[in-house]
Amino acid sequence: MNKRIAVFASGRGSNLSAIIEAVKNKKIRADLSLLVSDNPQAGAIEKAKAAGVRVALVERKDFGSKEDFEKKIIEHLEENKIDLIVLAGFMRMFSPALVERFKFMIINIHPALLPSFKGSHAIKDAFDYGAKVTGVTVHFVDELMDHGPIILQEAVAVAETDTPETLEEKIHKVEHRLYPEAIELFVEGRLKVEGRKVSIR
Ligand code: GRF
C-alpha cells in the first residue's frame, strides 16, 4: 500500500505545487492525501483543490487552547491515516507532545543552510548579512525551531548582482527539486536516524 502524505502550508504553496507535480510524475511514489492549512487566505488551498487534494482548514482562532487546536489536527491526521507530515511554509510551531506523537514522521524545508539563519526571514537575513553562500535544508522536525536532524542540504551561491528577490527565486528553484527528493527517500524507507545524523541507505 502507498504511504499517505499530508502537506501543511500557511502561504502561497509553491512547494506544495512541486510536490503535487512529483506525485503525478511518480518521482514521489506515495499518495498526497491531505493539505492542512491554518490560513483561509493561503494560496496553497486553491492549489490543493485544483489538484483534487482534500483540504482541512484548521484555524487557531477557532480553539481556546493550542492543545485543542492540535487535537483537531491530530484527528485529521488519524482519519486520513497519514504516514508523513510535510511542512511547506507552515508558520506555526508544534507542541513537544505532537512532535513526540509523530516522532521522525514530520519533515520541514528551510530556505538557508541550517544552523545558519533560522527563523522566518532566512533568505533576507542571509542576504543582509552578506553571506556568499546560503542554501536549502530539509530536516526532521524536533521540539526546537529549525533544529532537527538534517536529511538533505544544498548550497546556493549569492552573486554580487543578486537582490533579495533574485536570491529568493534561486532558492525556491532548489527547494522545488530537493523537497520531492527528500520525500521520496522517506517514502522508500531509506532514511536512518542516529542522534543528529541521518544516513541514506
Ligand atoms: C519556503 O521558502 C520554505 O523554505 C519556507 O517557507 C517557504 C514556503 O514557500 N519554510 P511556499 O509557500 O511553498 O511557496
Q: How many CB atoms lie within 10 A of CB 190?
A: 11
> Are residue 3 and residue 82 in the same domain, yes or no?
yes
Domain boundary (51, 75, 102) is at: 102
Q: Are residues 114 and 189 in the same domain?
A: yes
Q: Specify the pLDDT at position 92.
A: 98
Query: 122-126 long-range CB contacts below 8 Å, 24 or more apart?
Result: 123/164, 123/167, 123/168, 123/171, 124/164, 126/158, 126/167
Quick one: pLDDT at residue 129?
A: 98
- Residue 17 has a pLDDT of 98
Q: Answer yes or no: do 145 and 52 share one domain.
A: no
pLDDT band at 138 (very low <50, low <70, confident <90, very high): very high
Quote the domain boundaries for residue 194. 110-201
Looking at every residue in the chain, the average pLDDT score rounds to 98
In a shared domain, residues 39 and 57: yes
pTM above 0.85, yes or no: yes
d(C-alpha 200, C-alpha 152), whole Å: 10
Q: Is the CB of 182 under 6 A from ligand 1?
A: no
159-193 tens-digit pLDDT: 999 999 999 999 999 999 999 999 999 999 999 99
Give yes or no: residues 52 and 79 share one domain: yes
For position 194, what pLDDT does the model report?
A: 98
Which pLDDT score is estimated for 168? 98
Domain at 11, CATH number: 3.40.50.170
Among protein residues, the one with the nearest Cα to ligand 1's atom 12 is 13
C-alpha cell at 11: 502561504
CA of 120 to the centre of ligand 1 (A): 9
User: pLDDT value at position 155?
Assistant: 99
51-109: pLDDT as tens digits: 999 999 999 999 999 999 999 999 999 999 999 999 999 999 999 999 999 999 999 99
Considering the domain architecture, whether residues 12 and 87 belong to the same structural domain is answered as yes
CA dist list (Å): 6 to 48, 109, 114, 120: 11, 14, 24, 21
Within 8 A by CB and 6+ apart from 89, the residues are 9, 10, 11, 12, 13, 15, 44
CA-proximal residue: ligand 1, atom 9 (nearest): 89
Which amino acid appears at position 110 of this protein?
A: H
Same structural domain, 94 and 121: no
Sheet holding 133-140, edge to edge: 55-57, 31-37, 4-8, 84-87, 106-110, 133-140, 150-157
**Same-domain pairing of 68 and 97:** yes
Q: Both 16 and 89 in a single domain?
A: yes
Q: Output the pLDDT for position 31.
A: 98
Count the domains in the chain.
Answer: 2
Instruction: Please indicate, yes or no, whether residues 86 and 143 belong to a single structural domain of this protein.
Output: no
Domain limit, last residue, from 82, 102, 122:
102
Cell of 53: 487534494
End residue of a domain, out of 57, 76, 102: 102
